[in-house]
Structure 1
């Protein structure tokens, strides 16, 4: 159940910071430096790497989560103005059914849409969902992962680009009640949805009071 969250504030004067912000493939490779080498055929999954980019008062910030203690000394020299890490074990072990939490996730909300008259064996076209369909996408996945949202704010973000491929990103924020701690811990550790290698899927939780 071990996990660590590393907060990296990029140095905008560093020559690579803009390249990393513009190309998720490059950023993914940079963040994998936090994890050990030789992790097999699926290194991101083995490392448990999930990350999210956010704008802050001090500049562009990256939140990176790993299942092993992060090796922050391996990040490119001068890339970050500030790097801090914290152990998420107290958060994960402290989750309780019925507790109120604030949540945030930047996700890639997609579903397959096909012609019902076509061959049922075909999966259909992968389509980005927004608006009410986007809300339903998140509510369905949150519920399936031990979280019952009481409020929901949907914010469309800029696409994340991996080479020539763009992945849609939508941020969901709100208040929720924990319904299943085992499912929720697994969701925090493994992420939710697609494009996990490209800045999507990291679920962040924080304690909250019962609404009045």
Structure 2
């Protein structure tokens, strides 16, 4: 497994075009591999995420089973003469994960749930729209994901309710774009709601945590959702 970081040059029209279309960015990500990774055995997949740290600092993170070549992205949306990308071997880090280790994390996800408006109707996938329900979506996935969100000390809880976890939900985005099927040329409308989570977690099951880090969490992985990354706690 490899983890890659690439900073986009938002002053360039190519970068703005890619950032405006999750489908185009997905295609550019998959073009980073000479042989696009497949998952016939249910193995690791390609995951990606765009972090909007500021108006000018926009970073693409990419995790996949092969080392990528982002030359085309540098030419279209980077700094061709002074900037490139950084790729790291992810396997040593994944191997070192241990029970009870604590990490800062970031995740952009598509928090959804299935509802049935009337008896007998099929369920419909619906986005969570409030920060409270978006946070609950992640909290509900703690055990199966091999982690728990760290709880704040009582004296650091500023609100009577909903402030007990080291967790911030921010940067909610509504994505609405046209999806084009390359083989058939058909078009369909895709509407998504995404949210970015920052916080601290404690590893409870290293194997389950490794599965989340390499397979993603939640839906809409083709459109930049599901990639959870860890960093040392400062």
Shared fold by TM > 0.5?
yes
Q: Smaller-chain TM-score range?
A: 0.7 to 0.9
1:6 and 1:196 mapped to 2: Cα distance? Answer: 17
C-alpha deviation, 1:207, in angstroms:
2.5
Aligned to 2:31: 33
Q: Structure 2, unaligned stretches of length 5 or more? A: 151-165, 179-188
Q: Compare 97-106 and 9-18 and name the one that shifted more.
A: 9-18
The counterpart of 1:160, out of the listed 164, 167, 175, is 175
| Pairs aligned (count) | 202
C-alpha deviation, 1:46, in angstroms:
6.8
Which runs of 4 or more aligned residues in structure 1 lie more than 4 Å from their structure 2 counterparts after TM superposition?
none
The counterpart of 1:4, out of the listed 2, 5, 16, is 2
Retained in 1: the 8 A contact 2:44–2:215? Answer: no
TM (norm. structure 2) is: 0.78
1:46 and 1:90 mapped to 2: Cα distance? Answer: 18
Secondary structure, in 3 states, of the residue corresponding to 1:184? Answer: helix
Q: How does 1:142-153 map to 2 (within 5 A)?
A: 142-150=142-150, 151-153=166-168
Q: Structure 1, unaligned stretches of length 5 or more? A: none
Aligned to 1:75: 73
Deviations along 1:87-143, one digit per CA (max 9) or x if unpaired, are 21222011000111111100000000114x5127x2x12111133222211011132
Secondary structure, in 3 states, of the residue corresponding to 2:61? Answer: strand
Aligned to 1:114: 116
Aligned to 2:224: 199
C-alpha deviation, 1:144, in angstroms:
1.3
- From the CA coordinates, give the structure whose radius of gyration is larger: 2
Q: How does 1:174-185 map to 2 (within 5 A)?
A: 174-185=199-210
Retained in 1: the 8 A contact 2:127–2:192? Answer: no
Aligned to 2:107: 105
Retained in 2: the 8 A contact 1:97–1:181? Answer: yes
The counterpart of 1:60, out of the listed 42, 58, 61, is 58
TM (norm. structure 1) is: 0.85
Retained in 1: the 8 A contact 2:172–2:195? Answer: yes
1:35 and 1:19 mapped to 2: Cα distance? Answer: 21
C-alpha deviation, 1:26, in angstroms:
0.4
Return closer, same or farther for 1:186/1:194 CA change in 2, 3 Å cut-off.
same
Return closer, same or farther for 1:119/1:161 CA change in 2, 3 Å cut-off.
same
